[in-house]
Amino acid sequence: MRDVRMRGFSERVDVEEVEAFLDRHTRALSAEPVDLLACVGRVLAEDVRAEVDVPGFPRSAMDGYAVRGEDTFGASNYDPISLAIAGQALPGRPFRGRVESGGAVRIMTGAAVPEGADAVVMAEVCNERDGRVEVTAPVGPRQNVGVVGEDVSAGEWVLRSGRRLRPQDAGLLASIGVDRPRCVRRPRVQLVVTGDELLPAGSRPDSGHIVDSNSVVLQALVARDGGERRPFEILPDRVDRLRDALVSAAAVADVILVSGGSSVGQEDCAPQLVRELGSLDFHGISMRPSSPAGVGRIPRGEPRASEVHPSWVFLLPGNPVSCLCAYEFFAGPVVRSLGGRSRTWPHPRVRLPLARKISSAIGRTDYVRVAIEHGRVVPIATSGASILSSTVRAAGCVIVPRELEGMPEGSEVEVRLYDDVAEF
């Protein structure tokens, strides 16, 4: 039997202090070229200037006839003007000749308007017969013609660094001939899960063992935040194994999430190891749940010039709600920020009145799971950090800041919703 040393947390820091520290020490990772189809949702790492005009040729905006506009002046139903058809222009198959005065070229939407022509008269006001077209309405020069550079002009800055790319942004990049835009690299995130009591997800729990649910939740959150998940295995509660795992992780990962082993009990050697291998910047935070959470940094094994930052290590409590909460407060913002995204919580928010008061304590930040019933916010009775089902029943959470000792019934509070789409 090993010797037991039980220590309390000597002092706890405020959530804001940890947040400010993370903010100060995190910046976006280096850039890498990304396939057009994979770039949506990624963050652009460079300003992009168009090197070409879009369209690169005068383009018909209608099905009809390419003409010299002045040839159609005065045309009407009663007095149609007849033009000789010299050929046709199809998208990708231009008419190679020139439209002379008195002539016309049949043209489809998207096709290049031939030389000589300056307008397209729409098919609806034309009658074609025997190689000639009768035009029954006039069309002015440039009418129904998309001019060169109408969408994008060569030399124009189309997208700026820091932009989180939308579907249409990727489309625009394609249209100006960009192949692989440079985006901020996705942070690599390594889970380190310890616990002799844990069975891998997918197992059936038995007496004395529970299934590791934290890794499932964490991996989904990492994916949400744009991190790149790495394979992991559950480690036994052994210092040597944990040390090896942390050293290996630091060599490859930008962020290490340690689940379990972050309290102050005898099995909890992770904080000590982080202190030995790098720095344990915080351990013990004035919050509920997640007060045993910790934050540290371990230098990279072989730093490259562009990646000199150490690996962030987040010590996440083993209790599932504490684990979720500590991820959201500390690890999530860092994962997003390393990937170039906003560190703000990604949850949609609603403001609604409280159906029952929330009690807290001055000096402590609380993460309160709430339901929404009849347009009112109902704190979920259980406060147990081990009750994952409470986060399943909840619609979202309310953060009680440390300067408040609670929130009175009827006051309007901000709910961070767990679901993307708010339908209240």
Using the rule CB under 8 A, is 380 a contact of its own copies? no
Lay out the site mask for its own copies across 152-191 (x = CB under 8 A, - = otherwise).
x-----xx----x-xxxxxxxxxxxx-xx-----------
* Contacts to its own copies from residues 66-105, by CB under 8 A: 87-88, 90-94
Q: Which of 22, 66, 145, 198 binds its own copies (CB under 8 A)?
A: 198
Using the rule CB under 8 A, is 208 a contact of its own copies? yes
Using the rule CB under 8 A, is 231 a contact of its own copies? no
Give the 3-state secondary structure of residue 141.
coil
Half-sphere exposure of 310 (CA within 13 A, CB side): 18
Q: Which of 108, 252, 350, 361 binds its own copies (CB under 8 A)?
A: 108
Lay out the site mask for its own copies across 309-328 (x = CB under 8 A, - = otherwise).
---------xxx---x----
**What does the alpha-carbon distance between residue 340 and residue 335 come to, in Å, rounded to a whole number?**
9
Using the rule CB under 8 A, is 136 a contact of its own copies? no
Span near its own copies by CB under 8 A; candidates 182-190, 240-248, 261-269, 276-284: 261-269
Using the rule CB under 8 A, is 404 a contact of its own copies? no
Pick between residue 201 and residue 371 the one whose CB is nearest to its own copies: 201
**What does the alpha-carbon distance between residue 210 and residue 203 come to, in Å, rounded to a whole number?**
9
Residue type, 325: C
Q: Which of 55, 80, 97, 406 binds its own copies (CB under 8 A)?
A: 55
Span near its own copies by CB under 8 A; candidates 150-158, 185-193, 250-258, 282-290: 150-158
Enter the tokens of residue 283: 């351990």
Using the rule CB under 8 A, is 137 a contact of its own copies? no
Using the rule CB under 8 A, is 220 a contact of its own copies? yes
**What does the alpha-carbon distance between residue 13 and residue 285 come to, in Å, rounded to a whole number?**
5
Pick between residue 201 and residue 355 the one whose CB is nearest to its own copies: 201
Counting beta carbons within 10 angstroms of the beta carbon of residue 106, is it exposed (0 to 12), middle (13 to 18) or buried (19 or more)? Answer: buried
Place of tokens 């992991």: 232
Using the rule CB under 8 A, is 132 a contact of its own copies? no
Which stretches of 68-187 are assigned E, i.e. beta strand? 81-89, 103-107, 119-122, 126-129, 132-135, 145-146, 157-159, 182-184
* Contacts to its own copies from residues 5-44, by CB under 8 A: 6, 8, 36-37, 40
Q: What's the longest Cα–Cα distance across the chain?
A: 108
CA angle 387, 418, 215 (to 5 degrees): 55
* Contacts to its own copies from residues 272-311, by CB under 8 A: none
- Contacts made by residues 69-74, CB under 8 angstroms, sequence distance 24+: 69/118, 69/119, 69/138, 69/139, 69/140, 69/141, 69/142, 69/143, 70/141, 71/101, 71/102, 72/119, 72/121, 72/135, 72/137, 72/138, 72/139, 73/138, 74/138
Min CB(52)–its own copies separation in Å: 6
Lay out the site mask for its own copies across 347-366 (x = CB under 8 A, - = otherwise).
-x------------------
Span near its own copies by CB under 8 A; candidates 71-79, 204-212, 305-313, 408-416: 204-212
The rounded radius of gyration (Å) of the Cα atoms in the chain is 32
